[in-house]
Chains A and B, each alone.
Chain A
Amino acid sequence: MTAHVPALLVVLPLLAAVLVPLLALRSVPLAQLIAMLSVGGVILGAGLALRRVLIHGTWHYALGGWAPPWGIEYVIDPLAAGMALLISSMALPALLYAGPVVAAWSAGQVGAFYSLFLLLVTGLLGMVVTGDVFNLYVFLEISSLAAYALLATGGIRAVVATFRYLLIGTIAATFYLLGVGYLYAITGTLNMADLTAQLATLHTSSAFVVAVAFLAIGLAIKAALFPLHAWLPDVYTYAPAPVSGFIAAVMAKVSVYALLRLLVFVLRAEGAAGQALLLLHWAAVVAVLAGALLALAQQDLRRMLAYSSVGQMATIVLGITLGTPAALLGALLHMLNHAVMKGCLFLALGGVQWRTGQVQLADFVGMGQRMPLTMAAFGVAAASMIGLPPTAGFFSKWYLLTGALEAQDWLAVLVLVGSSVLSLIYFFRVLEVAYFRQPGVQALQRELPWRMLTPMVVLATLVVLLGVWNQVIVTQVLQYALPHGVAWPRT
């Protein structure tokens, strides 16, 4: 059984996605339980896989017994296993949280919702474990299609946002597919390891530049790297709370992961791939500040968090493109930390909206008294976003800053500090209104049901624990997830 863990990581949620809508027609709680159990199984599997690859090294798994490069190969290294663990671990709280949200829906709707959610998880997991560039495209489309449908459940505004997202997302996926097509045309292979082996022929070819350009642009759109971020704010704003809590935590990150995987691990930052990283670096420098400034301009807190994500995704890309060991560690640690804290923020905000209908900054007066635990979770995650010690966000900022200093990239240093000053302003604004403005009338305290409260409290606790024990993660996992022997020119 454990020999097939790589396949099970994808198959388990896929099977559950088929099973859940049928079960929901008989018993909704059972369907919810099965959905959560399948994700729990994936967490277990990803944990096992991580443990194994840390001890025995990269795990190659030929799907269906077809040997690569002809068959599809799943390749699990510490980075992929870590991402799989992160995705599944963020899916579980979102699923638990979804319970009260969907309580008023019909059984058919609930079944469809959980099924789509599991398909989204399947797609994202597939993207991280696959060792095949075309297979990655397939999973990218699975996750995207599931995401479009999930978003559309968020009401009439969401439908419009979804349509826009669908257009942009399809263009991005097509760009990616074109890039894959060019790679295939040059090398005749779709297997990642095989591509790396044929790099020598690859990067002398002029079509390689086109291929890399298509891949990078397609994935940069998916990763919402400014100025290609246009789809993200609407999507995060109008999606139902459990969905935005999950996709804001991991979805764009999986695209960043794909960028890192392809440009650095597969194409070894050679030739056009190195130049693409350089261009991404400059885009990221601008995007970090642009995201933070746009977040500052928002009165709708969901949009504020969404633009903050634009800035934070750029921070991760910045860390990757800086390319020094500390910067890469910082980028990977920030993927983890940002997932936890942004997930917590969206769940908390979604909870406030669910209970009170308020999402505008001005309406948050007295919220600290009305929903003390929810706002406390929000506050802890916000402190981490600002980068206050000893929360997790502080330590990823530390590594990113060290990386920028190592690279002697003073602009990046300034941008990183500037971004945390800006996030200080826009998050603090919320806390000031929620805790320190006097409400006109004393509102009654009304907390969320436990199924919504537990996930965010756990995530908020995790924000602190991940900070204090970040060394365990860095020294025992992340440093083995770094690309080795790759260096790229930076100017």
Chain B
Amino acid sequence: MVMTHRPLLAILLPLCAAGLILCTGRRPNLRDTWTFLAAGGQCALVLSLVPAVVAGQVVDTAYVELLPGLALQLRADPFGLLFALLASGLWCLTSLYAVGYMRAGQYPRQTGYFACVAVALSATLGVAFAANLLTFFVFYELLTLATYPLVVHRRDAEALAAGRKYLAYTLGAGQCLLLALVWLQHLVPGATFQPGGVLAGKAAPGVLVALCLLGFLGVGVKAALMPLHGWLPAAMVAPTPVSALLHAVAVVKAGTFGCIRLLHYVFGLDVLQALGADMVLASVAGATILLASVRALGESHLKRRLAYSTVSHLAYIVLGAVLGSPAALAGAMFHMVAHGCMKITLFFCAGAIDIQIHRLDIATFAGLGRQMPITFGALTLGALGLAGTPLCVGFISKWQLGLGALQAGHAVFLGILVLSGLLNLAYFLPILLTAFFGPGGSGAPSREARALMWMPLALTAVLSVVLGIAPNAGPGLYHLAWQAVGQIMPGTAPMLLGGAP
């Protein structure tokens, strides 16, 4: 056991930055420097934890005791670190993009915006490093509160309505999660997250069913499982960098992260299988994958289409987590990374388009691909990746998920994955066809957005290809996912294409 305060520092750093941002609101350049410093510093802190965790050490520090035997406790395990790396890494790129976007669009209230994003990233890292459900819950609620002002950033009636919906869903779910948490503490006092779960043999089946329902209602809202997804398309009224970082990566991934934590670190898959709850959850996830893809087909607004695509892809992660085979679980964990990289690219593109032509109706993109080749090139890479094209990162996770479905003996879910891939193409290809081969020349000629915007989106697009070719590049995210799987299901070895490592 290693004691280090680096996880805490990674959480506190953005909080301090938020304070500084609020104090220096009148000097935009100085203010935005704090964001860059916090994002870079947080990323460096998280990266510095990688060697210890990869070496198999448990980094675990308990702070003030909040309830009997239950402290505010932070722990860096492979799965948490995976999520932390994803969130803080993408925050660095998003900060660059957001500065470009907010300045190009001359958005009001930028100080509040950057402060809230910093608090949200602090909360996200708290979620990632939480060692018990109480700590998780504290940061999970903070994440909700910090993102609410971002959703209502425009302050008009539509934004306020979306904000109310957002809070009703997420804080309502918070109450369910709280009840599950109190109950858990009542059944297993002082329980921390343990690979394989802590609830086996601790409660009667009836109690477990109730706990399951409460817990998954609690995390299912942020994971946007249908029918709990209604807030996500509505939240697209937020500025695009928010949609990109928070509603494609941090917030929704905190939901799926919570699903996996609950499934494999609190309940344990055996308990759920004994209840039959795993197949219920898998069916819900399977249905969400297909239904959300179909809903995406019907949306003509780019951001809303992306939102439904997000709903669908989040369900991939939940599906992989409940199938119960090592490959599916690794696929689910890695899909958090894969989907994060690809979807953030797509949202960055949407933001760039919005800034240039002030419209996001797909029909108005005709010919735009020839005028904004970098943006639409990145959009193409992201879209193809999400559909599961080889050499893109989406392929790796999807392959694992499909393989896992077969391993678990549920070929029907492989069918759903394939069908969903086709639906992905069906809702992305028209965008690309319109943009590259549409008539064009109808409106004023457009060009690429400013460098501060196109560079981050090109980077994330390249990143999604690099990770598709070498999933272990950089900090070894793919390896981390397998390491986490190895802890949950001892005796499994990493696989890439189905055989030995």
Q: Which residues of A contact B (CB under 8 A)?
A: 383, 387-390, 395, 397-398, 401-402, 405-406, 413, 417, 420-421, 424, 428, 432, 435-438, 468-471, 474-475
Contacts and interface: CB of A to CB of B under 8 A. Distances in A.
B66 A432 contact: no
17 contacts: A383-B145, A387-B178, A389-B138, A389-B141, A389-B142, A390-B138, A395-B66, A395-B67, A397-B178, A398-B67, A398-B178, A401-B179, A405-B182, A432-B164, A436-B149, A437-B160, A469-B64
A474 B66 CA distance: 10
Interface residues of B, number: 29
Contacts of B155: 436-438
A42 B167 CA distance: 44
A370 B141 CA distance: 27
A471 B68 contact: yes
Given A388-B141, A471-B65, 7 more contacts: A389-B141, A395-B66, A401-B179, A405-B186, A436-B152, A437-B155, A437-B160
Contacts of B65: 471
B163 interface: yes
Nearest to A400: B182
Contacts of B163: 432, 436
A411 to B, nearest CB: 14
A392 to B, nearest CB: 12
A406 B145 CA distance: 31
Given A437-B155, A437-B160, A390 B66 contact: yes
B437 to A, nearest CB: 43
A421 B175 contact: yes
Contact of B64 (A387, A432, A468): A468
A402 B179 CA distance: 9
Nearest to A329: B68
A23 to B, nearest CB: 44
B137 interface: yes
Nearest to A386: B171
A417 B138 contact: no
A471 B172 CA distance: 27
Interface string B154-187: 0110001001100100011001001100110110
A417 B179 contact: yes
Contacts of B67: 395, 398, 470-471
Contacts of A470: 66-67
Contacts of A432: 160, 163-164
A474 B167 CA distance: 31
B182 A420 contact: no
A327 to B, nearest CB: 12
Contacts of B66: 390, 395, 468, 470-471
A424 B148 CA distance: 14
B179 A413 contact: yes
Q: Is the interface of A mostly helix, strand, loop or mixed?
A: helix
Contacts of A389: 134, 137-138, 141-142
Nearest to B159: A436
A383 B163 CA distance: 17
Interface of B: 64-68, 72, 134, 137-138, 141-142, 145, 149, 152, 155-156, 160, 163-164, 167, 171-172, 175, 178-179, 182-183, 185-186
A398 B137 contact: no
Contacts of A395: 66-67
B443 to A, nearest CB: 31
From B141, B145, B182, B185, residue with most partner A Cβ within 10 Å: B182
A435 B171 CA distance: 19
A133 to B, nearest CB: 36
Contacts of B156: 438
A435 B163 CA distance: 13
A61 to B, nearest CB: 34
B23 to A, nearest CB: 13
Contacts of B142: 389
B141 A398 contact: no
B137 A436 contact: no
- Going nearest first, the 4 A-B pairs with the smallest beta carbon separation are A389-B138, A401-B182, A471-B65, A405-B186
Contacts of A413: 179
Contacts of A401: 178-179, 182
A421 B179 CA distance: 12
A398 B137 CA distance: 12
A336 B178 CA distance: 22
Contacts of B167: 424, 428
Contacts of A388: 141, 145
A405 B183 contact: yes
A456 B183 CA distance: 35
A379 to B, nearest CB: 10
A413 B68 CA distance: 20
Contacts of B160: 432, 436-437
Contacts of A436: 149, 152, 155, 160, 163
B175 A402 contact: no
B141 A424 contact: no
Contacts of A424: 167, 171
A375 to B, nearest CB: 14
Contacts of B149: 435-436
A387 B186 CA distance: 19
Contacts of B172: 421
Contacts of A402: 182, 185-186
B171 to A, nearest CB: 6
Contact of B186 (A406, A417, A471): A406
Contacts of A435: 149
A438 B66 CA distance: 38
From B66, B68, B145, residue with most partner A Cβ within 10 Å: B66
B77 to A, nearest CB: 22
A435 B68 CA distance: 37
A470 B66 CA distance: 7
